[in-house]
Structure 1
Amino acid sequence: MSSGSERTTVRTYIPAYQKEQWQAHAEELDMSQSEFVRTMVQAGRSGFEPAASETTESDAAESESEEPRSPDATPGGNGLKDRVQNILADGDYYEWDDLVAELTDGIEERLEEALQELQSNNKVQYSGRHGGYVRDE
């Protein structure tokens, strides 16, 4: 295995619309596309770690590398579980709708901003006649 500081290229093929989505998400997070993809892959991998007894020498070397894992890596919905527990930590009872509201706080504003940006970039258009949004191809 190579040293932790040596870099190499990884190439994959995805649909154009997915690349556009990744680019937009990377921009929202103020990340380069490479940094975004690397972080998302690492986040996904953390849900597939071998058991401690199955850890290999290369796994140990990787964990000591310079690049830390994303602190919010939450594959399999663990992040949602953590957020629910944090909300309920105050000891109050929350109804279903209250929990949904807490978990989706700010999503409407983020969605509106995303749609405005997509419309201004001619990626999405709204049709009053059809009552909704559609990709502008």
Structure 2
Amino acid sequence: MSSDSERTTVRTYIPAYQKEQWQAHAEELDMSQSEFVRTMVQAGRSGFESAAPETVESGAAESDSEEPRSPDATPGGGGLKDRVREVLADGDYYEWDDLLAELTDDIEERLEDTLQELQSNNEVQYSGRQGGYVRDE
């Protein structure tokens, strides 16, 4: 598989109401949530491309000018810390299992969406006979 078509995962954390809005809009457009977010990000980027003549995609070096960063950007895996702070901000006490559920609430849905996408791209297949998923080489 060439690097041009190789896929990777991108994660972000958004408020639950925003996710619900995105899901509803994706359904209206008959798109998966992943496809919707990918399309919206690409559409949003088109307005910025004229302001940035050199891009990493074209093989040019990144500019030395500082790019605007999200105020909650947390390089090095601090995203979980921010998410825990966010969940606990309401002042309620959370038992371990409840806190874990709050932090992983969408993992099953994300896994299902990802597996469906990989299967539709013929990258993964499910075998009931073998009892699981396997990469489709």
Q: TM-score range by the shorter chain?
A: 0.5 to 0.7
Q: Summarize deviations over 1:70-117 as a string: whole Å, max 9, x none.
A: 555322221110110111111111111111111112221121111111
Aligned to 1:45: none
Percent identical among aligned pairs is: 67
Counterpart of 2:76 in 1: which secondary structure? helix
Equivalent residues in 2 for 1:30-109, closer than 5 Å: 30=39, 31-32=41-42, 62-63=65-66, 67-70=67-70, 73-109=73-109
Instruction: Name the TM-score, length of structure 1 as normaliser.
Output: 0.54
Sort the Cα spacing of 1:133 and 1:19 in 2 relative to 1 into closer, same or farther, 3 A. Answer: same
- Residue 20 (str. 1) matches residue 6 (str. 2): yes
**Which consecutive residues of structure 1, in runs of 5 or more, have no partner in the other structure?**
1-14, 39-57
TM-score computed with the length of structure 2 as normaliser: 0.54
TM-aligned CA distance change 1:131 to 1:117, over 3 Å: same
- Kindly report the root-mean-square deviation, in angstroms, between the aligned alpha carbons of the 2 structures: 3.3
1:130 Cα offset (Å): 2.3
Q: Which residue pairs with 2:118 in the alignment?
A: 118
Q: Higher helix proportion, which one?
A: 1
Mark the structure with the bigger radius of gyration: 1
- The count of corresponding residues between Structure 1 and Structure 2 is 95
Question: What pairs up with 1:2-17 in 2 under 5 angstroms?
Answer: 16=2
1:132 alignment counterpart: 132
Indicate how the Cα distance of structure 1 residues 128 and 17 shifts in structure 2: closer, same or farther if over 3 A, else same. farther
Greater relative contact order (Cα < 8 A, sep 6+): 1
Runs of 4+ in 1 over 4 A off after TM superposition: 15-19, 24-28
Q: Give the aligned partner of residue 54 of structure 1.
A: none
Hey, what's the Cα distance between the residues in 2 that align with 1:72 and 1:112?
28
Distance 1:70 1:18, change over 3 A: farther
* Deviation string, structure 1 residues 54-78 (Cα, Å, up to 9, x no partner): xxxx9xx623xxx423555322221
Distance 2:103 2:73 in 1: 17
